[in-house]
Amino acid sequence: MIFKTRFTGALLGAILSTTALQGAMADDDTIKIGVLHSLSGTMAISETTLKDAVLMLVEEQNKKGGVLGKKLEAVVVDPASDWPLFAEKARQLIAQDKVAAVFGCWTSSSRKSVLPVFEELNSILFYPVQYEGEESSRNIFYTGAAPNQQAIPAVDYLANVEGVERWVLAGTDYVYPQTTNKILKAYLMSKGVAEEDIMINYTPFGHSDWQTIVTDIKNFGSAGKKTAVVSTINGDANVPFYKELANQGIKAEDIPVVAFSVGEEELAGLDTEPLVGHLAAWNYFQSVDTETNAEFIETWHAFTGDAERVTNDPMEATYIGFNAWVKAVEAAGTTDTDAVLDTIIGVSVPNLTGGYSTVMPNHHITKPVLIGEIQADGQFEVVQETPAVVGDEWSDYLPDSKDLIADWRKPMECGNFNVATGKCGGKGS
């Protein structure tokens, strides 16, 4: 694996040095921003879209006259789905290319890898993907959903509307599903669900043979209580999972599956006819009927030249992060990191679902939670929408972190303040 990584690195190094050169030649009348998304390797399937989204936002902003009278210029690098390479590329963006802010990362592993770099070199990262929480850094803005902005409302919906009493928590075996499932299990048990009514199942990345597990789910669901599956299955493994569900005849009316990592993009590779009614929880769906969204989709189709390209939740998170950054820079009158960190808290920008998202002192944002059902055309139909929820960085349902809060305003300026002891510096860094 290491061997493979090196080779990819060398190959890409050649390509990237050309990008870096272009960056170096740019004149001083531009503001540079970094794009740190994998364009090759396993995560390219999801991250390439976000790279395009940032490029589109930059182009749109430049049409409006740029920022502070200067044009924006995106510096794109390819960390190749390789976590250590993310840190190297982040360092290159900040130290060599002198970018004002970076938009990037998808997996939590990549974010954890670049976090020390951003703190050391004092730059800003906008992270646009739903994640497991339990983190708040001075230099990172989490514009995706925290567990309380996605997982918990979804579980509430199943329990209240569908009357679910028995739960299968199925996930890919890595940090996001493990932490989310830990939080969900604690939450469900606090709601009086018995331990034997919760089944937790982990599978490797890219798992493709779901026969046994789908049968297990079916058997678990035949105990006379309404059963649902909460899926944190990631990426490539979803398509074979849903195909197996459809073939074994598990209908949404009998055992609904609610997924946190399945969006329009993932469904694009599937025939969704047999999956109608299965659910997903996000903060945005392409089908949301608002004017800003229609405009966004139109710009996206024009930018990519493909009228079939779908939009998804992390794109909206990128959109919000980008606009919040622009607004904060304009308020600060400079792209200097400390000044922007100061002005960005409290900044409100429109989101695509008809409301506003505000950057909170804990570096998370407010966003509504939408529960959608899969439709036959591969889109989602919203069946429930909550008012805007504040992202909760430290979960209230884990004993280690229920006393922690983050507040990056002066004078507290702390990412893990313990309200029980009154000291900064609880769990984590």
Partner 1 sequence: MIRFLSSLILLLTLAVSGHAQGGADPRPLIDALGKANFKQAEELLGQIAATGDARVAPALEAFAAGDLYARKSDGAVFIAKPAGKNFKLIDPLSGEEVEEAGKGAVAKIKINNNLRRVIRSTLGGLTLLSPDRATRLRAAEAVMRSPSAENLELIEAALEKESDGAVKARMEQARAVSLLASDRGVEEKRAAIDTIRSLGGRPAIAILMTAAPAVDPALKEDLNHAIRQLESNLAAWDVAQNVWYGLSLGSVLLLAAIGLAITFGVMGIINMAHGEMVMIGAYSTFVVQQLIRTNAPQLFDWSLLIAVPVAFLVTGIVGLVIERGVIRFLYGRPLETLLATWGISLILQQSVRSIFGPTNQEVGNPSWMSGSFPLGGMTVTWNRMWIILFSISIFLALLALMKKSSFGLQMRAVTQNRRMASSMGIRTPWVDALTFALGSGIAGIAGVALSQIDNVSPNLGQAYIIDSFMVVVFGGVGNLWGTLVGALSLGVLNKFLEPSVGAVLGKILVLVLIILFIQKRPRGLFALKGRAVEA
Residue numbers at the binding site for partner 1 (CB under 8 A): 4, 7-8, 11, 40, 42, 44-45, 48-49, 161-162, 173, 201-204, 206-209, 211-213, 215-216, 218-219, 221-225, 236, 239-240, 243-244, 246-249, 252-254, 256, 265-266, 268-271, 274, 276-277, 279, 373, 375-376, 381, 383
Q: Give the Cα separation of 49 and 40 in Å (integer).
A: 12
Which residue, 306 or 400, has its beta carbon nearer to partner 1? Answer: 306
Q: Give the Cα separation of 420 and 404 in Å (integer).
A: 8
Which residue, 161 or 419, has its beta carbon nearer to partner 1? Answer: 161
The letter for the amino acid at 32 is K
Q: Give the Cα separation of 402 and 312 in Å (integer).
A: 31
Which residue, 313 or 407, has its beta carbon nearer to partner 1? Answer: 313
CB of 137: closest distance to partner 1 in angstroms? 29
Which residue, 17 or 122, has its beta carbon nearer to partner 1? Answer: 17
Q: Give the Cα separation of 230 and 239 in Å (integer).
A: 16
Which residue, 8 or 299, has its beta carbon nearer to partner 1? Answer: 8
Which residue, 305 or 411, has its beta carbon nearer to partner 1? Answer: 305
Q: Which of 80, 9, 96, 83 is nearest to 47 (CA)?
A: 80
Which residue, 101 or 217, has its beta carbon nearer to partner 1? Answer: 217
Which residue, 95 or 383, has its beta carbon nearer to partner 1? Answer: 383
CB of 162: closest distance to partner 1 in angstroms? 6
Question: b/e for 23-54, b at 16 or more Cβ within 10 A?
Answer: beeeeeebbbbbbbbbbbbbbbbbbebbbbbb
Q: Which of 402, 429, 395 is nearest to 418 (CA)?
A: 402
Which residue, 162 or 403, has its beta carbon nearer to partner 1? Answer: 162
Q: Which of 148, 8, 133 is nearest to 78 (CA)?
A: 8
The letter for the amino acid at 85 is L
CB of 165: closest distance to partner 1 in angstroms? 11
Which residue, 209 or 330, has its beta carbon nearer to partner 1? Answer: 209
CB of 178: closest distance to partner 1 in angstroms? 11
Interacting residues of 95 by C-beta distance below 8 A, sequence separation 6+: 121
CB of 82: closest distance to partner 1 in angstroms? 14
If you write DSSP's letter for every residue of 276-296 in order, what string do you get?
A: TT-EEEES--TT---HHHHHH
Q: Is 67 helix (H, G, I), strand (E, B) or coil?
A: strand
Axis crossing angle, helix 313-332 with helix 44-63, rounded to the nearest 10: 40
If you write DSSP's letter for every residue of 297-357 in order, what string do you get?
A: HHHHHHHHT-TT----HHHHHHHHHHHHHHHHHHHHTS--HHHHHHHHTT-EEE-TTSSEE
If you write DSSP's letter for every residue of 15-41 in order, what string do you get?
A: HHHHHHHHHHH--TTEEEEEEE--SSS
CB of 73: closest distance to partner 1 in angstroms? 24
Q: Give the Cα separation of 87 and 1 in Å (integer).
A: 18
Q: Which of 52, 131, 181 is nearest to 363 (CA)?
A: 131
